Structure 1
Amino acid sequence: MPVGTVRSRLHAGHRRLADALLATAAQAHPDRARARRYAEGLGAAMTAFQRTGDTRALNDHLAVDVEYQLFDGVRRRDRARFAAALASEFDDGIRAEPLGVTAGAGLTVVDLRLHNPSDQPLHCPPALTQLFLHDGRTVRRITSHYATLQPDAARA
C-alpha cells in the first residue's frame, strides 16, 4: 500500500475520532451529578474523620476489607487498619488540605496538600493524590501517590 494512502486513511481516522469526541463532549452525562455527590460525601466523611478521629464517619463509604496503599507502598486490607494509620498521622500533627477533586463513575481522584508540624517539617511529603475506586456506594481500593520530598525546600 502506498505511503500516501496510509497517511490519507490516518488523517481521515483522526478527523472521525475528533468529530466523535466533540459530539460526545456535547452530550449530557447523567452520572456526573451522582459521581459528584458521591465524591462530596466521601470528602465530608474524610474531613469529619480528620477533625474528630471518629471512625464511624468512614463506615458508610469504605468497605470493611478496603484495600489501601500508603507511603510505604505496601498493599494492605482492613478499614480499621486504614483508619488507625491515618489517625496516627493526625495525632502526629499532620493535616490534609483538599486541593481538588475529580469525580467519575467508579473513580474519585483527590489531590491533597499535607501540612507537617513545625517541629517535624519532613514528616510527610508536601502533597498527595489519592485514587478511590468504588462502585458508587463503597470504596473498595485506595491508592496513594505522594509528591517527591524536597529536603532543601523544607529548610528554606
Structure 2
Amino acid sequence: MSGTTPGDTGPVEDAALVRAAQTGDVSALASLLERHRPGMRAVALSMLGPGPDVDDVMQETALVALRRIVDVRGPEAVGPWLRMVVRNNCRNLLRASRRVEPREWVPLPSDGGTPEQVLESHALRDWIWEAVEALSPTLRLPLVLRYFSTGITSYQQIAEACAIPVRTVRSRLNQARGALSRSLTDTADTPHENAVRRTENSWFEAHETLAAAERGEFGKVVRDRYTPGVSLSANGQRLGGADLLLAGMDADLAAGVRQRPTHVVAGRSLVVWEMELISPPDDPDHCPPGVAWIITLDAGRFDRVSLYHTPRPAAVAWGAGVDVRPRHRTPPLAM
C-alpha cells in the first residue's frame, strides 16, 4: 500500500491549481474541488452516514475553501487540508444535532482575525461580495449573519434575529450555499466593487452616527440618511418608524447608555453594525451586553432597521437554585 488516501492525486497539479485559485481564478478552484470531491465525500460519509447532511457538508466545505484558499501555505497538501475542513464541518453538524451550538467555520490561523478579516485579506473578497449581493434578500440575510457577523452566527441566534424557526434557518442556509455557488459563476467576469472601502466607509458612518446622536443631531442623520418610511423592528415585530428611532435614541442617551461599534459588515443592500452596549456606572445591569443593527438599504438609504440584542450571561443561581439578584429594565431600544 502506498499510504495515499482518496483525493491525494497529482500534488504538482494541485499546487498549480491552488496558486491559480489564490489569484482569483474561478475555474482553478472549481477544478481543485472536483479533483478532491471523492476523498472529501468519503470522509463525510464515514462520519455522518448516507443522507442529505453529506451534501450540506460538501457545500459548506466549498464555501470554506473559497474563503480560505488564500491561507493554504502548502499547496501540494491541499487534499488533506480539504478533508480536514470536511471533518470539522461534520463535527459541527454532529454537535448541533446534540443541541450544542456549532463553531464558526474551521479554526483560524494563529495570527487570528475574524472570518470577515480573513476574507478582506485576499483578492477574492470583492467577487464573493458581488455574488452575495445577487442572492435574494431571504437567503442573503441568514448567510451574511452566519458567515460575516461575529455575534449572530449560531442557528439559534440567526433564528432569533430573523424571527424564523431554527429548521428554517438550516433550510435557507442550505439554499443560500447552493445559490451562492451558482452566483459565483455568474458574477466571475462582472465588475466588482471594492468591499474594503465600503466597509471602511460604514465603520466611519457608524461612529459618526453615534457622535451625532450625542451632539443632539441624530434627527438630521435620520432625515439625511434614512428613507421617509423607515421602519424599526425587533424579534420580527415592527415597532415603529422614524419617530421611535429618535425617541429611543434620546431615551438611551438620557439614561446614560453608550455604545461602541465592534464589528461592521457592509454590502450594497445589507449592513450589520455590531455594538457593545455600555450601561451607566451607577446601573451596570441596565442593558444587555450588545446590540446589532441589521440594516436593509433602499437605493443607498437605510430603509429597515432590525435590532438583535446580545443575550445576557446566564444567571447565577443563589441559594436553593433561585436567582435572587434584582432585574433591571432594558432601555427602550438600546440602540
2:227 touches 2:301 (CA, 8 Å); kept in 1? yes
2:295 touches 2:304 (CA, 8 Å); kept in 1? yes
Partner of 1:60: 224
CA displacement at 1:135 relative to structure 2: 3.3
Could you tell me how far apart the structure 1 residues matched to 2:233 and 2:290 are? 15
Structure 1: gaps (5+ residues): 1-6
* Aligned residues: CA RMSD: 3.6
CA displacement at 1:149 relative to structure 2: 2.2
Query: Residue 137 and residue 19 in structure 1: after superposition, are their counterparts in 2 closer, same or farther (change >3 A)?
Result: closer
Q: How big is each residue's C-alpha offset from its partner over 1:37-95, in whole Å with a ceiling of 9 and x where there is no partner?
A: 5524531442233321211123222112211125x864133223211111111111000
**SS of the residue aligned with 1:105?**
coil
Query: Residue 124 and residue 74 in structure 1: after superposition, are their counterparts in 2 closer, same or farther (change >3 A)?
Result: farther
1:38 touches 1:136 (CA, 8 Å); kept in 2? no
Which amino acid in structure 2 is aligned with residue 132 of structure 1?
A: I
Could you tell me how far apart the structure 2 residues matched to 1:18 and 1:133 are? 24
Could you tell me how far apart the structure 2 residues matched to 1:138 and 1:101 are? 17
Query: Residue 91 and residue 18 in structure 1: after superposition, are their counterparts in 2 closer, same or farther (change >3 A)?
Result: closer
1:65 touches 1:77 (CA, 8 Å); kept in 2? no
What are the equivalent positions in structure 2 for 1:1-156 lying under 5 Å apart?
11=41, 14=58, 17=62, 21=66, 26-27=123-124, 29=126, 30-31=192-193, 32-33=195-196, 35-36=198-199, 38-40=201-203, 42-54=205-217, 55-70=219-234, 74-135=237-298, 137-150=300-313
Percent identity reads 21
1:46 touches 1:58 (CA, 8 Å); kept in 2? no
User: TM-score, structure 1 length as denominator?
Assistant: 0.72
Mean Cα displacement is larger for which, 32-41 or 49-58? Answer: 32-41
CA displacement at 1:109 relative to structure 2: 1.1
User: TM-score, structure 2 length as denominator?
Assistant: 0.37
Mean Cα displacement is larger for which, 94-103 or 56-65? Answer: 56-65
**SS of the residue aligned with 2:288?**
coil
**SS of the residue aligned with 1:119?**
coil
**SS of the residue aligned with 1:60?**
helix
Bigger RCO of structures 1 and 2 (CA < 8 A, at least 6 apart): 1
Greater share of residues in helix:
2
Could you tell me how far apart the structure 1 residues matched to 2:283 and 2:252 are? 12
Greater share of residues in strand:
1
Could you tell me how far apart the structure 2 residues matched to 1:27 and 1:119 are? 47
